[in-house]
Structure 1
Amino acid sequence: MSNAQTSSRKIILQERPAPDELVPSRYAVRVGDIDVLIISDGILTPPAESMATNADPEVRGAWLDERFLSKVAFDWALNAVVVRSGDQTILIDSGLGEEYPDFPRAGQFVHRLEAAGVDLAAVTDVVLTHMHFDHVGGLLVEGVKERMRPDLRVHVCAAETKFWQAPDFSLTAMPPALADLARKASLEFLNAYRSHLRTFDQQAQVAPGVVVTRTGGHTPGHSVVRISSGDERLMFGGDALFPVSFDHPEWHNGFEHDPDEATRVRLRLMKELAETGSWLVSTHMPFPSVGRVATAGDLYRWVPAWWDY
């Protein structure tokens, strides 16, 4: 068993799940000397067509049928990550934050952090892969900002903060209500955390072995986080890769602000992952979202890690 599969004893669950927790919601792995904890914020249920807006409906429906998934709405995992490197505790994205009427099965992040023994006051850094509402929402929950450190650093690509000051949704297929929610959440976040922002152009080292790099595509400043220690590597892919990406990388996701560039980004990242053997964790891959990418002819396939008890 590799080090990346071995649960970290430093951040293993400190409490038993609450009685209403019917499924596991956190999963610890070790990347060399770095602790990584994946936290589930729950499940989103967007319209099925949003997973592949440029696909033939019959082909998309067949893909869903083969996996026994609904052709009306599908379960979309929502994951965030806590990283401990040296004396830094880093939160990568923050989930939806609150329960929205359209997404009643998400919005669990804050209490699941607490249940996993992660103190908000101990978080030294936040990294945002991008500023969609299901990535910044946890930081907007009432009372959260007041519990964070006054010297908190929030790392986000400069192109991302610029974009959300006057966002363009013309290439997305987002329902108007979700576009309004995205616009509102991003501005609220910028207003609340402006003094904490540490923007970067293309790349920044957040902590030893933790580097965030702009990819663009999904949003103009979308970024991925690469974690490395010793011979172990893990990438947090944000919204660059989805479950359907391995079979149909050319399918456009309805939330992508530059769909053609997003396709190029995911192909480039899958090639890198297959060549390096790096672990992958991504926002919307099924929890616990830990696996590797392998070549499959001209495409790639997802190889989930065996659950490590």
Structure 2
Amino acid sequence: MQEADMSLDNTLNANGSTREELVPSRYAVRIGEIEVLVISDGVLPLPTKMLGHNVEETERAAWLDHMFLPSDAFDWALNAVVVRSGAQTILIDAGLGLDPELNLPRAGQLVKRLESAGIDLGSVTDVVLTHMHMDHVGGLLVDGVKERLRPDLQIHVAAAEVKFWEAPDFTRVNMPPGFPDALRAAAKRFANEYHNQLRLFDEEQEVAPGVIVSRTGGHTPGHSVVRVASGKDRLMFAGDAVFAVGFEHPGWFNGFEHDPEEAARVRVRLLKELAATGELLVATHMPFPSVGHVAVDGDAFRWVPVFWDY
């Protein structure tokens, strides 16, 4: 595994940087012959109850204190990934976009940061959606974005996910007010606007050489992960299957999980797989750049972030 040079439209060219931003927003990794770029869509501040609504407040507070984090709100990172395999440029998830009703100004940065990285939206051949929550499809709903995308763009998403959002069940989630309505609206609008470009799969689909999307379920019925493999190198983009608290406490339910018990089972299975293989992990809500390994730590797991390669 080499973490370094990336040729995605001169992504690492300093001339393409955005001076007014003082935080890093992209990180390049090479997986064999495949180029991977993690892009930050910003952060989403949420109540700490969202980290584990099935445990006592004192337990959550103890974990936050252990991590030197404030107890009142937790910034959920929002990460998307760009993959170049052969002639294909693949965007995995599309960020939050803009939803003025929710007042989330620190998120929805993906389109701007793709441009800053020198990535033309018209160069994207494929989009893979881990699921259809608004922080994964919203970037495609920003005014003017659809017109800049290729007319032959293919959007890969599990058939079970599209079916679920026809009549979504929110009975087992634990979200702040306003979020269920916003999620419904975003998923419905996305399905209406992009239905002609959807490429549905049941369990697994090869999107490009070395790039495979697989349905896991749990978080949502069609939630999926993306595995990237080339030569001896491997990386998994786990979407919302893995959260920062989920290594030490994989049984904690986060508030966006539509089937919390199944989501926990999926999380444990994936973490065991990652610990056994040693491959890299990237996930939507892990702190940017969210590139690291998983180790077994007694009855739980341990997150081992990579050392940044400058």
User: C-alpha displacement at 1:6, in angstroms?
Assistant: 2.6
- Is 1:257 aligned to residue 258 of structure 2? yes
Q: What TM-score does the superposition give when structure 2 sets the normalisation length?
A: 0.97
Q: How far apart are residue 69 of structure 1 and its match?
A: 1.2
Q: Secondary structure at the match of 2:91?
A: strand
Count of residues in Structure 1 that have an aligned counterpart in Structure 2: 307
1:49 equivalent in structure 2? 49
* Bigger mean CA deviation after superposition, 48-57 or 65-74: 65-74
Gaps of 5+ in 2: none
Q: Distance in 2 between matches of 1:132 and 1:142?
A: 18
Cα drift, residue 7 of structure 1: 3.4
Change (3 A) 1:216 1:284: same
Q: In 2, distance between residues paired with 1:102 and 1:300?
A: 35
The reply on whether 1:8 has 2:9 as its aligned counterpart is no
Aligned residue number for residue 116 of structure 1: 117
1:276 alignment counterpart: 277
Residues 187-219 of structure 1 show CA distances to partners (whole Å, capped at 9, x for unaligned) of 000001000000000000000000000000000
Match of 2:161 in 1: 160
RMSD: 1.1
Secondary structure of 1:45's partner? strand
| Cα pair 1:7 1:308 within 8 Å, conserved | no
Answer yes or no: is 1:151 the counterpart of 2:152.
yes
Structure 1 residue 16 displacement after superposition: 4.1
TM-score, with length taken from structure 1: 0.97
* Corresponding residue SS for 1:74: strand
**Aligned amino acid, residue 12 of structure 2:** L
Report the Cα distance in structure 2 between the residues aligned to 1:160 and 1:9, rounded to whole angstroms.
33
1:66 Cα shift?
A: 1.5
Distance, in Å, in 2 between the alignment partners of 1:12 and 1:19 is: 15
Whichever residue aligns with residue 6 of structure 2, its letter is S
Confirm or deny: 8 A CA contact 1:48 1:70 kept in the other structure: no
Distance 2:138 2:28 in 1: 23
Letter of the structure 2 residue corresponding to residue 205 of structure 1 = E
C-alpha distance in 2 between matches for 1:191 and 1:99: 18
Give per-residue Cα distances to partners, 1:24-71, cap 9 Å, x unaligned.
100111000000000000010011111110011101101101212121
The DSSP-based 3-state class of the residue aligned with 2:73 is coil
Tell me by how many angstroms 1:83 deviates.
0.3
Q: Assess if the C-alpha contact under 8 Å between 1:125 and 1:155 holds in 2.
A: yes
Q: Does the Cα contact within 8 Å between 1:228 and 1:234 map onto a contact in 2? A: yes
Contact 2:126-2:156 at 8 Å conserved across structures: yes
Give the equivalent residue in structure 2 for 1:78: 78
Amino acid at match of 2:288: F
1:175 deviation in Å? 2.6
Q: Secondary structure at the match of 1:173?
A: coil
Structure 1 counterpart of 2:64: 64
Partner of 1:31: 31
Identity of aligned residues (%): 63
Residues 169, 179 of structure 1: 8 Å contact kept: yes
Q: Secondary structure at the match of 1:285?
A: coil
- Work out whether residues 88 and 123 of structure 1, in 8 Å CA contact, stay in contact via their aligned partners in 2: yes
